[in-house]
Amino acid sequence: MFTSENLNNNNPGKDNVQVSIAPDFLIKYNPSRKRVLQLIAAGWSNASIAEDLNFSTKNIESITTLLIRLAKLQDPSGNLNPRARLVAKCHHAQKLKYQLSQEPPNELLSEDQTATLLLVAVGLSNKTIGKILGISEKTVESRLNNLFLQFGINAKANKVINPRLRLIAVTNARQNITFEAFDILWQKTNNVDLDQIVNNPQEFRETVMKVAGKLVEEAPKYRDNANKEQPQPASQRQQYTYINPAHTQNVYNRLNPNQQNKPQSAEQKPQQQ
């Protein structure tokens, strides 16, 4: 659906990210809250989610704040990225799932890049990632920008996507992050005092680099899973609700009508007979 060429404000990237949500999750809440959570996990921006639900962006922000509060993500020290941590908590509970992509894993990632990616995926802030890895926050931001480029994510399209959450979704779908690797780091960062990890990061850093090294080594193994149809069992299709890709594109188009109807250049115009 999306192509990596000619990324514009209307085009978040080439990967068609599909995130499913279990129907028994947040069952006591209205469907719109579940939909907001699903679209956050897929990397949609507040504006895109508001367009999808015909809400105001202020309403979407309020719902997101409520979901973060319900998830009990207390973070007085600023160690977390609240939305990414919310998604990570739901993903670990297997209430959110990323459908495998037909795009292969990116086999060009270094261990350092993969380590950064893992810490982003478990919902840590740039400041905390930097302290754990022994690098500056600016270096973390630079690595993220390089990762956006490597995965064809248009970070400038922040009107329609949240680049950080989009990166998490894409790399899970492509299996640059496996659930097993994610689970190891989630267990290490859940129900613990993150300030202690930040102040004495050496042991945790070694764990992160070990997991990252294994992912880099195993990336070719997942290549064969890509470029193939990923049929979902009927039972799973009934249990999880997916985002319709065509609907996704329609939302993006409505947010950027000028880009959608942008006149062709002289080179692009068809020749008249």
Give me the residue spans of the domains in the chain.
19-256
**Count H helices, E strands: the chain?**
14, 2
User: Would the pTM count as exceeding 0.85?
Assistant: no
Phi/psi at 108 (5° precision): -95, 0
User: What is the tens place of the pLDDT at every residue in 241-262?
Assistant: 556 666 677 777 777 676 544 4
Query: Which pLDDT score, from 0 to 100, does residue 269 have?
Result: 40
The token pair at 4 is 């990596």
Predicted local confidence at residue 160, as pLDDT: 87
Share of the chain above pLDDT 70, in %: 77
Model pLDDT, residue 65: 94
pLDDT in tens, 105-131: 888 999 999 999 999 999 999 999 999
> CA 158, CA 48: separation in Å to the nearest integer?
10
- The three-state secondary structure class of 135 is coil
Instruction: For 203-227, write each residue's pLDDT tens digit.
Output: 999 999 999 999 999 888 877 665 5
* Banded model confidence at residue 24, pLDDT cuts 50, 70, 90: confident
pLDDT of residue 103: 84
pLDDT at residue 250 in the model: 76
User: How is residue 222 written in tokens?
Assistant: 């997942």
Alpha-carbon distance of 107 to 109, in angstroms, equals: 6
Q: What pLDDT is attached to residue 22?
A: 81
pLDDT at 15: 60
What is the rounded average pLDDT for all residues in the chain?
82
Question: In Å, what is the CA distance from 50 to each residue of 78, 132, 205?
Answer: 27, 35, 39
Q: What is the pLDDT of residue 30?
A: 76
Q: What pLDDT digit, counting tens, does each position of 141-166 carry? A: 999 999 999 999 988 887 889 999 99
Q: What is the DSSP string of 195-226?
A: HHHHHS-HHHHHHHHHHHHHHHHHGGGGGGGS
